[in-house]
Homo-oligomer: A and B are copies of this chain.
Amino acid sequence: MEILMEFGSRFVSQLQSPTLAFLLGGILIAALGSRLTIPDAIYKFIVFMLLLKVGLKGGMAIGEADIGAMLLPAFFAVVVGCLTVIIGRYTLALLPGIRTEDGIATAGLFGAVSGSTLAAGTVVLESEGISYEPWAVALYPFMDIPALVLAIVLASVYLKKKDGTGDKVAIWPIVKESLQGPALSALLLGIALGLFTNPDRVFDTFYEPLFRGLLSVLMLIMGIEAYARLNELRRVAHWFAVYAAVAPLMNGLIAFGLGYIAHVLTGFSPGGVVLLAIIAGSSSDISGPPTLRAGIPTANPSSYIGSSTSIGTPVAIAIGIPLYIGLAQLVFGA
């Protein structure tokens, strides 16, 4: 009982943290009909800045890291990416009024990863004083790419069975498409620059100090966008909304469990476990949608983009992040 109350008060205090407050503020002003918008050029630049910074930091750390320790978490990231897509695909297939292609694409998007949510997670962890392996951010592609590949393969298999229209899926083009997307490109570029060059000074004077502030603006944009996409979601089956509210937390908890195993087996840090859960709970907002659009052209984008942007991401950030942190405090002690 006391634990629940502590959990509750911690949750309310998280809602007052800038990261979540700006997200909710964005939803609120959009709901009140505000015409405030942040130009798209600014949005794209902020996403670039955040992912480059996350990558730079990861890259500088990987240089000094014990790469062996990364193997099990990376393997679990692949497992989570695949498992969440499979669970999502067959869960959505059971629900009424959902076209199978739409369900597969939605499961793929929720299995894939959001760089913005990852950035938000690192800021909340740092604010809470919870440390994590700096290379943990590099788990992103290990979860993101398998999820997108698997979703497109599953869709192709289904379509071939149904009416023979599904093509044989070439996997490498999907992997390439993911790696070339702006989000993963920025992250990997940052890792490479952090690993092979000396960006310390420009990191300390530019990317690091601007990170929290730019993230607050990004959260505001994502809140505004979440509300704007609700209308799109209203036009598709309501079960998408239910899935979008439940899947981020379910996916996050699966990753938390596997992360816990890695903690026991190889000493993966509690902060790393939380970050793995945050990554798993997120749904792709930048690179995933165009990849799925190209890979499953018959799926209706309103279903998967609507459910991810308008419900999945707010749930992943505003409920998921505090949930995994609270859980870590229960499981690993204060």
- A165: shortest Cβ distance to chain B, in Å? 27
- Tell me the residues in window 193-209 of chain A with beta carbons closer than 8 Å to chain B beta carbons: 193, 196-199, 201-202, 205-207, 209
Q: What CA separation (Å) do A29 and B193 show in the bound complex?
A: 12
**What are the residues of chain B within 8 A of A300 when measuring CB–CB?**
none
- Tell me the residues in window 223-245 of chain A with beta carbons closer than 8 Å to chain B beta carbons: none
Number of copies: 3
- Tell me the residues in window 207-231 of chain A with beta carbons closer than 8 Å to chain B beta carbons: 207, 209-210, 212-214, 216, 220
- Tell me the residues in window 36-80 of chain A with beta carbons closer than 8 Å to chain B beta carbons: 36-42, 44-45, 48
- A104: shortest Cβ distance to chain B, in Å? 24
- Could you say which of A176-184, A310-318, A322-330 contacts chain B? A176-184
Which residue on B lies nearest to A182, using beta carbons? B36
- A287: shortest Cβ distance to chain B, in Å? 9
- Given A202-B213, A210-B206, A213-B202, answer yes or no on A189-B35 (Cβ-Cβ < 8 Å): no
Asked if A9 is at the interface (CB within 8 A of a chain B CB), the reply is no
Q: What CA separation (Å) do A198 and B186 show in the bound complex?
A: 30
**What are the residues of chain B within 8 A of A39 when measuring CB–CB?**
40-41, 44-45
Among B17, B193, B212, the residue within 8 A (CB) of A197 is B17
Q: What CA separation (Å) do A199 and B19 show in the bound complex?
A: 9
Among B40, B42, B181, B212, the residue within 8 A (CB) of A201 is B212
Which residue on B lies nearest to A49, using beta carbons? B217
**What are the residues of chain B within 8 A of A36 when measuring CB–CB?**
48, 182, 185-186, 189
- A36: shortest Cβ distance to chain B, in Å? 4
**A48 x B41 contact (CB < 8 A):** no
Q: What CA separation (Å) do A196 and B16 show in the bound complex?
A: 7
**What are the residues of chain B within 8 A of A201 when measuring CB–CB?**
18, 127, 212
- A290: shortest Cβ distance to chain B, in Å? 9
Q: What CA separation (Å) do A181 and B17 show in the bound complex?
A: 26
Q: What CA separation (Å) do A210 and B181 show in the bound complex?
A: 27
- Some 27 contacts from A to B, beta carbons below 8 A apart, are A15-B197, A17-B198, A18-B198, A18-B201, A21-B196, A21-B197, A21-B199, A33-B176, A33-B180, A34-B179, A35-B182, A36-B186, A37-B44, A37-B182, A38-B48, A39-B40, A39-B41, A39-B45, A41-B42, A42-B45, A189-B220, A199-B216, A201-B212, A202-B212, A202-B213, A205-B209, A205-B212
Nearest 9 Cβ contacts at the A-B interface = A206-B213, A39-B41, A21-B197, A34-B185, A36-B185, A41-B41, A16-B197, A18-B202, A36-B182
Contacts A32-B179, A34-B189, A39-B45 aside, 4 further interface pairs with beta carbons under 8 A come to: A36-B186, A37-B44, A202-B212, A205-B213
